[in-house]
Structure 1
Amino acid sequence: MKSNGNTVISLEEVLKAIAPDGLDGKLPPVHLWNPERCADIQMEIRADGSWWHEGDRIKRERLVKLFSRILRKDDDGQIYLVTPYEKVIVHVEDAPFLAIRVDRVGETGPDQVLVFKTNLGDVTMAGPDAPLRIETDPVTLEPSPYILVRDRLEAKLSRAVFYELADMAVAHEGASGMLGVWSKGQFFELGPAS
């Protein structure tokens, strides 16, 4: 593989740089990598969480998981696949991850913790450092719920997960007429009670 036309980089070097501990180890330090080379190779993440390259679906789950570990959202709002050698634009239709599961840990109330799992195995706990947010379409009034997974990268909650949260929702005296859920001492509004 050539990174800049002059340097030849082996696949092993790239894999060692971006996944030194394997696919289940700690995440690579993409925030430290600032390669000069940037390319658009028609990489896309669709709203259903599927990954595509040049119009073809990427079906190898391990490859998608590897790619998901080197995602970064920069200050320009663009999402990239980043290696020490180059970064590649990723066109994201909605969110880079899909939250497919939620579990409630602890007694119902402010001290409970909501734990979310994504379609690619990431786990995040809602709280001050990983907020839940709801965007409402101004025309259809349909809610779109998201949770922060890591470093400005969010997961959209699947419909089933959002329904589970709605079942957990309670009223909060500080949020008049709003229902929401608690996690790690923080109340997250889901929507109006009526």
Structure 2
Amino acid sequence: MADNQNPPGLDGVIAAAKAQAPGRGLPPVHLWDPPNCGDIDIVIRKDGLWFHEGSPIGREALVRLFSTVLRKDPDGFWLVTPVEKMRIEVEDAPFIATRVDRVGDALRFTTNVGDEVEAGPDNAIRVDVGEDGEPRPYLHVRRGLEALIARPVFYELIELAEERQTPEGLALGVASNGAWFAVGAPGAHQL
């Protein structure tokens, strides 16, 4: 049920996010359809740091709180409450995968905002190539939101990778929860 008593703007986002009871999981932002209240000067930089009005948001708990009401729509990234939504800027991916652990047959990632995500059919790993020619690996976290896999974590994935024949040729990849993900272009590891 919407709480129309929340103040507008950034304070409203904080109040709405805090209203989510502990232990109940993430707020159902995908179900909310509030009016667009415009842009708010929040930027998530490529390195995963969150800025408000040009200054870093130094409180990790506040960044975590905002991350729970973040939504990706076809027209951009939004902080969403039951009564309003405000567009923010995301330079690359909104999260950074800072750790990976092998748990049984799963690869479990931890993000910079505390999410734990197991790669698998619903949370794919994909690798793009950046303008500099370097790999840019990503993990799907939830509802279209991704985490850039930090370089040290990507190196761990490469250590876990095995060769597999694909229709395009031999490729290195990792398996998790019954899915296999290439971590490089076919033949790239043979150069």
Q: TM-score, normalised by structure 2?
A: 0.87
Q: What is the identity, as a one-letter code, of the residue corresponding to 2:32?
A: W
Mapped to 2, the partners of 1:114 and 1:105 lie a distance apart of 6
Q: Percent identity?
A: 48
Give yes or no for the alignment of 1:93 onto 2:106.
no
Q: Deviations over 1:73-126 (max 9, x none)?
A: 0122x01000011111110011100000000122xxxxx210000001001111
For residue 126 of structure 2, what is the aligned residue in structure 1? 133
For residue 49 of structure 1, what is the aligned residue in structure 2? 48
For residue 193 of structure 1, what is the aligned residue in structure 2? 189
Give yes or no for the alignment of 1:75 onto 2:74.
yes
For residue 153 of structure 1, what is the aligned residue in structure 2? 145
Look up the SS of the partner of 2:64 in the other structure. helix
Please list, as runs of the form range in 1=range in 2, the aligned pairs for 1:33-48 lying within 5 A after superposition: 33-48=32-47
Give yes or no for the alignment of 1:143 onto 2:135.
yes
Unmatched 5+ stretches in structure 1? 1-6, 107-111
Give yes or no for the alignment of 1:121 onto 2:114.
yes
Mapped to 1, the partners of 2:13 and 2:88 lie a distance apart of 22
Q: What is the identity, as a one-letter code, of the residue corresponding to 2:139?
A: I
For residue 31 of structure 1, what is the aligned residue in structure 2? 30
Indicate if the aligned counterparts of 1:49 and 1:98 stay in contact, CA closer than 8 A: yes
Indicate if the aligned counterparts of 2:78 and 2:85 stay in contact, CA closer than 8 A: yes
Unmatched 5+ stretches in structure 2? none
Indicate if the aligned counterparts of 2:138 and 2:149 stay in contact, CA closer than 8 A: yes
Look up the SS of the partner of 2:152 in the other structure. helix
Aligned residues: 181
- Report the RMSD for the aligned CA atoms in angstroms: 2.2
For residue 175 of structure 2, what is the aligned residue in structure 1? 182
Look up the SS of the partner of 1:193 in the other structure. helix
Q: TM-score, normalised by structure 1?
A: 0.85
> Relative to 1, partners in 2 of residues 1:12 and 1:54: Cα closer, same or farther, differing over 3 Å?
closer
Indicate if the aligned counterparts of 2:13 and 2:81 stay in contact, CA closer than 8 A: no
Q: Deviations over 1:117-136 (max 9, x none)?
A: 00010011111100000001
Mapped to 1, the partners of 2:41 and 2:176 lie a distance apart of 38
* 1:187, distance to aligned residue in structure 2 (A): 1.1
